[in-house]
Amino acid sequence: RLRLRVSLDALPCVRDHCVYLQPDGWPEDSDRFPVVPMTTMLELAADAARRCAPPGAALLGYDDVRAMRWLPAAPALDVEVDVRADGPGRIRVGIGPYASVVVLLGPGHARPPAPDPAPLRDPGPAPVSAEALYRDRWMFHGPRFAGVHEVRTVGSDGIHGVLRALPDPGALLDAAGQLFGHWMQLRLPVDRLVFPATVDRIRFYGPPPPPHALVTATARIREVSDVTVRGDLELLDAADRLWARI
């Protein structure tokens, strides 16, 4: 069991992940509601899991991701992190009452499968540019999490674009989630504000892309209900090899 200090000093990037907009110079950080992204919590969980793994173990992915509560970074707080084995190469990590995940570690990454070749249905050009996504507050993210580089195509069953691998922990996967969420903003008639709550599995087929590299992303929508949307994402590296499947 570990203790994790969560604050804007410990995680300064979270200043760019504030849910509420306040005027410049606003004195109280907590009024902006800076919350740790789920994808950043995954990175924190992986760091904790590596303490129980052989040196040099590769991060292969995650299973059974559950985000139960917002984790605010202001005011500062200490969070208990529970780490325990869950089978060979599997370490279950609980971050207080906020999130839980099984971290997958191993000696090396699997050979990447071929990406899904199916085109999106009824594709059309994106009506909102990546620049406008942040400028016009479609997304609340500041520069350190503004990782959608280009929105290329929107279809009836998904969205395709390009992400930039920003260097802060969790920024790239958060950008993938933003692209996924933008499909709902464009296509759902009501209840278009969405946040990630669960991920069944994430698999990595290589080390993370270098900082600021461009990554192609396709999100495919599998199911839309009254309160949830489920889908899959594929992220391809500069050589069009599958790097991650979510």
> For the segment 128-176, what is each residue's pLDDT rounded down to a tens digit?
999 999 999 999 999 999 999 999 999 999 999 999 999 999 999 999 9
pLDDT at 191: 67
How many whole angstroms separate alpha carbon 237 and alpha carbon 213? 8
Contact 94, 84 (CB under 8 A): no
Domain boundaries, the chain: 2-106, 124-245
For 199, the enclosing helix (H) or strand (E) is strand 198-204
Task: Give pLDDT tens digits for 8-54.
Answer: 999 999 999 999 999 989 999 999 999 999 999 999 999 999 998 88
Mapping DSSP onto H, E and C, the string for 194-243 reads CCCCEEEEEEECCCCCCCCCEEEEEEEEEEECCCCEEEEEEEECCCCCEE
Residue 11 is which amino acid?
Answer: L
Kindly report the CATH number that applies to the domain delimited by 2-106.
3.10.129.10
DSSP state of 157: T
3-state secondary structure of 110: coil
Burial class (CB in 10 A: 0-12, 13-18, 19+), 63: middle
3-state secondary structure of 217: strand
pLDDT at 54: 87
How many whole angstroms separate alpha carbon 45 and alpha carbon 39? 10
Confidence of residue 193 (pLDDT cuts 50, 70, 90): confident
Q: Which fold has domain 124-245?
A: Thiol Ester Dehydrase; Chain A (3.10.129)
Residue 90 is which amino acid?
Answer: R
- Is the pLDDT at 188 greater than 90? The verdict is no
pTM across the whole model: 0.95
Count H helices, E strands: the chain? 3, 12
- Of all residues in the chain, what percent carry a pLDDT higher than 90? 91
